[in-house]
Amino acid sequence: MWSVIRKSRRMSMTCSLLAQSLTLAYHYNSSPAIKSTCNPFSPLVSNQSSSSSVFLRPVSAPAIRAFCSKSDAMSSAQNSDSVSHLTQREAAEIDETLMGPLGFSVDQLMELAGLSVATSIAEVYKSNEYDRVLAICGPGNNGGDGLVAARHLYHFGYKPFVCYPKRTQKPLYTGLVTQLESLSIPFLSVEDLPLDFSKDFDIIVDAMFGFSFHGTPRPPFDDLIKRLLCLHGYDQTRQKRPVIVSVDIPSGWHVEEGDIGDEGIKPDMLVSLTAPKLCAKKFSGPHHFLGGRFVPPVIAHKYKLRLPPYPGTSMCVRIGKAPSVDISALRENYISPEFLEEQVESDPINQFRKWFDDAIAAGLREPNAMALSTVGKDGKPSSRMVLLKGVDRDGFVWYTNYESRKACELCENPHASLLFYWDGLNRQVRVEGSVEKVSDEESEQYFHSRPRGSQIGAIVSKQSSVIPGRHVLYQQYKELEEKFSDWSLIPKPEFWGGYRLKPELFEFWQGQTSRLHDRTKSFWFGCNWNWLGMDLNNEISIVFGLDPQAVQIFVGCNILLRKSTENGYGKSTACVPD
């Protein structure tokens, strides 16, 4: 993340610089295209966190992409004017080439296209708010894409319905229908559809006609298009209406000229496939995605295609900027099993391990990422993300530069807070305690377990210090890389090592509906862990495992005051719902 600070005529930038990426960045920098993006004269502040996420594994090309951007498709927005757009002839030629000399089959391309549509929908319209989906499918390949998308949406947690009035009696299409029927996905005739789509559906997938369509729509599709057009009248009355997602081409549009006569569907989302068609330049809806991550380099070279890179392993990528949103309206309605006191492990370390294992089993990305908050003698807090590298009876361990800001603050005030947030499970854990350096032996052992590129990066990167430019890091990295090219032992620098937080407080939080979240706390009293639980519905704090003389409970305001004891200490903790 870059923040720009202007001082006189000079511009200095602070960055979260991951020096371990220098292995990859240096080799990338040998490319003229990459070099041109770096200004060697811009002063930089190196603020490398040695436990940053990209470097849990050897440095590779996907890692640098993950560092530069978010992993989801929403983060890779690219200006639509910089992306290639295809004519109808070019789109047809590319399909013929894919299914001819390049060996793709029509069902393979249809599967990839339908999956791209479903993932694009899931990026924007979450199933807990937009679960009822109507897929209106035409007789051709575009309709087949819609059938595939409906199947994937079912597995994503949506409730799809399918209107397929002109069925194609070919094995490919009958097979797609059979697959949907095996999932008990309802098929609706045109007559079964309600006159007012707004009351029964949250999303309508327009998969009637694709880029090969000519002429004007015939019954029953002409009437269906008109009914979709009527939905836009709800915008004027501020009534909720279903969003429309068009597959590749909004039905009724000319593939190159767009919505001639302003009589076509006006979708909220357009999912272009392979590459956007010329008509997509006329699309004015808030969400434009590109799907179909299968274009071989030979096709891209032949047609001089300029396509945005797909982030991570996503099957879709946003084109253009995301629309502005009302921040105050952003809210997730959590759905989680209850987190009850009787389910809590008596030892909070074991409870943490249990939840940590759940996060790993759920496949969450970097479950060991944690926010580390520190406060120096000036009383000003600071936070940053680091990676947990060990947890045991003695506490939580991470590694960093001993000359960084966080290290200086820990020297002045050896107390910190850790926060783990596991989004997919609606869980977070907060840990507070005192901090001390790990032994030199521990730091030495971990340092030499890291990839050699990361070891060199730790030496090169002087966190929180000003440097003339990134080129200095590259040069120093290259020199050390050559120096240790014989695979001799790389010495750990004196300014690099680990910290251990010895926990004094745990707080386990699990999101619930209506903001009535579950929260339990554990305090260290003398030589025992003592739990504090909370029932937010009754607004009363519940304490167990404590001497009655150690606490006072105030019903209604959710505040617990702990009295001093011979074996413990006294503090006050406010416990209120978010």
Which residues are catalytically annotated?
Answer: 515
C-alpha 385/C-alpha 53 separation (Å) is 9
Q: Give the DSSP letter of residue 412.
A: H
Q: Give the DSSP letter of residue 258.
A: B
27 annotated as belonging to a binding site for a ligand: no
Give the CA distances from residue 184 to residues 33, 159, 162, 179, in Å, rounded to whole numbers and listed in that order.
52, 10, 11, 9
209 annotated as belonging to a binding site for a ligand: no
- Report helix angle 106-124 to 141-155, nearest 10: 50
- Mention every residue, 6+ apart, whose C-beta is less than 8 A from residue 357: none
248 annotated as belonging to a binding site for a ligand: yes
Q: Chain-centre distance of CA 156, in angstroms? A: 16
- Tokens (6 digits) for 146: 């819609």
**Token match 């069925």: residue?**
167
Question: CA 356, 357, 358, 360 torsion: positive or negative?
Answer: positive
Other Cβ atoms less than 10 A from the Cβ of 43: the count is 15
- Tokens (6 digits) for 445: 């052992």
DSSP H helices in 221-318: 221-230, 233-237, 297-302
C-alpha 140/C-alpha 150 separation (Å) is 16
214 annotated as belonging to a binding site for a ligand: yes
- Tokens (6 digits) for 376: 């120096």
β-strand 496-510 against 518-525: which pairing, if any?
antiparallel
> Residue 502, exposed/middle/buried by CB under 10 A (0-12, 13-18, 19+)?
middle
Q: Give the DSSP letter of residue 97.
A: H
142 annotated as belonging to a binding site for a ligand: yes
Contact 388, 397 (CB under 8 A): yes
Question: CA 190, 240, 123, 81 torsion: positive or negative?
Answer: positive
DSSP H helices in 135-289: 141-155, 171-182, 221-230, 233-237
471 annotated as belonging to a binding site for a ligand: no
- Mention every residue, 6+ apart, whose C-beta is less than 8 A from residue 201: 132, 133, 134, 161, 242
3-state secondary structure 418-483: EEEEEHHHCEEEEEEEEEEECCHHHHHHHHCCCCHHHHHHHHHCCCCEEECCHHHHHHHHHHHHHH
Helix (H) or strand (E) holding 382: strand 381-387
212 annotated as belonging to a binding site for a ligand: yes
Q: Binding site membership for K(+): which residues?
A: 142, 206, 251
Q: Binding site membership: which residues?
A: 141-145, 206, 210-216, 248, 251
Q: Binding site membership for (6S)-NADPHX: which residues?
A: 141-145, 210-216, 248
